[in-house]
Each structure stands twice: as structure tokens, then as C-alpha cells.
Amino acid sequence: MWRASVLTIFPDMFPGPLGTSLAGKALAAGTWALETIDIRNFGIGVHRTVDDTPAGGGPGMVMKADVLANAIDSVAADTRPRILLSPRGTPLTQARVKDLARGPGAILVCGRFEGVDERVIEARALEEISVGDYVLSGGEIAALVLMDACIRLLPGVMGHEASGQDESFSDGLLEYPQFTRPQVFEGRPIPEVLISGDHAKVAAWRREQAEKLTQSRRGDLWTAFSDRLGPAKKPPAKG
Ligand code: SAH
């Protein structure tokens, strides 16, 4: 069973959207398990304080290292990666998601305020992961994003085992365009090749579309993809 332990001052946010749909069914079925640890329970004094003003001055508050360390230490020590959701972290990729989904689960620390005291990141060897180059108000939604991406890859969660294989990023390309009935929508027909019944042609068309899309929308992915193929197998540049 894939186990997520989430450290947060807002445990009510979980499972949130992951309690419905495929993830919710998988949670009920015991494919994955969720534990929330309320950081506030480790807060200091009658007010259960979890934050303090930043050393050196400046706006906002910083999550206290001692409080967070105690919260982290309350989670049974195991082999799961300890992750701090953080805009400064390594951007989350589908490769890392696959890697995490294959593992035992994750311990996810959700920051709030201006962030967390640097020393707890070091002292508890937290791996910082970002869900994108923008700033959220807290790590909770980022943790939900990471969990959702992992959970859908767990065996038996997606209706079709194969549907995880063809999609965006899995081979370094964005996914080809999808269509379904009706045959004509507001005067726009489904591309003929897709209703030809010729599987080889369909596969070739999809591949070509995926390459075109990746090249025009994501130069970064395209460069990495072409580099990986090596000069000999490089696909021809398309305009
Ligand atoms: N002052 C910080 C931002 C703090 S945002 C800075 O400039 O780096 C508060 C918390 O939200 C962070 O501690 C982190 O846990 C979470 N968070 C914000 N943006 C995020 C992102 N892009 N990815 C992952 N977590 C994020």
C-alpha cells in the first residue's frame, strides 16, 4: 500500500479532492493510505504557536524549526522520501512522479506563511520539490498535486492500465490531439486518418502530431527529446 503522511496546519484540506473520483475509490479500496499530522499539535505554549518573525526583519512569519522537527519526528521513521513542498524546490516531473509511485509513499511537509526555517530543511534532510514557477499560499495544494499525480499511476487505479503510457511526458513528448464522437462538431470533422481503421497510419499520425506540438509549444522538452534520440535518429525539424 502506498502511504502518504502529510504535515500541515490545515489537516481539513485532506483528502479534499482526492476523496472523490479514482483517487477516492482507491483510498476506500486501500490502494493508498493517507495520514495527516497537525503541525499545530506540536506548537508552543497555550496558543500552540508554530511561527515567528523572520530573523533579520522583513514581512510575514516563518515556520519554526523546533515545532516542525517535532512534527516530522512524530512520523514513524521509515524509508519514504521526506519532501518539503517549496517554490525553490526541484520542479516536479512525470519521471519523478513515476519514481515516487513505484516507492512506498511519501512524507509531505506543507509550508505556510513566508516559508520554513532553513535549519529544519537541513537537519531533517528534506527534499524540496516545486509544482511550478509560481507562489502558492501554502504547500497543501502542492501536496495534493503531487499525490494525485502519483496515485493515478498506482496499479489498478486507472481504468485502463495502458492509459498512463501514451500520455504527455511519458516518452518526452506532449500528447497528440484527442477526438471522440460526434463525427462533425460545429462543422469540424474528426481527422480522416483516425476513422480509417489503419492502425499503423493512426500511430504515425499521432506521433507526428505529438512531435509538432512539442516542438511548437515546448522548445525545452523538444530539445531534450531530440538530444536523447541522438544525432542519427533525430526527427526532421518541422515548421
Ligand atoms: N516566501 C517563499 C514562498 C512561501 S509560500 C518564497 O518566496 O520562496 C508558502 C508555502 O507555500 C511554502 O513554504 C511552500 O510550502 C508552499 N508553496 C508555495 N509555492 C509553491 C510551489 N510552487 N510549489 C510547492 N510549494 C509551494
The predicted-structure confidence for 158-182, as pLDDT tens digits, reads as follows 976 656 677 888 889 999 999 999 9
How far apart are the CA of 83 and the centre of ligand 1, in A? 13
How far apart are the CA of 134 and the centre of ligand 1, in A? 8
pLDDT of residue 232: 65
Atom of ligand 1 nearest to the CA of 116: 13
Q: Where along the chain do its domains lie?
A: 2-151, 166-229
Distance CA 76, CA 35 (A): 11
Closest-CA residue, ligand 1 atom 18, reads 136
pLDDT at 238 over 60: no
pLDDT of residue 12: 98
pLDDT of residue 76: 87
CATH number of 166-229: 1.10.1270.20
pLDDT of residue 161: 61
How far apart are the CA of 91 and the centre of ligand 1, in A? 12
Q: Helix crossing, 199-217 with 219-233: angle to 10°?
A: 120
Indicate the pLDDT class of residue 236, thresholds 50, 70 and 90. low
The answer to whether the predicted template modeling score (pTM) of the entire model surpasses 0.85 is: yes
Judge: domain 2-151, CATH 3.90.79.10. Answer: no
Radius of gyration of the chain (CA): 22
Indicate the pLDDT class of residue 86, thresholds 50, 70 and 90. very high
Closest-CA residue, ligand 1 atom 22, reads 87
Q: Report the 10 Å Cβ neighbour count for 58.
A: 9
The overall average pLDDT reported for the chain is 95
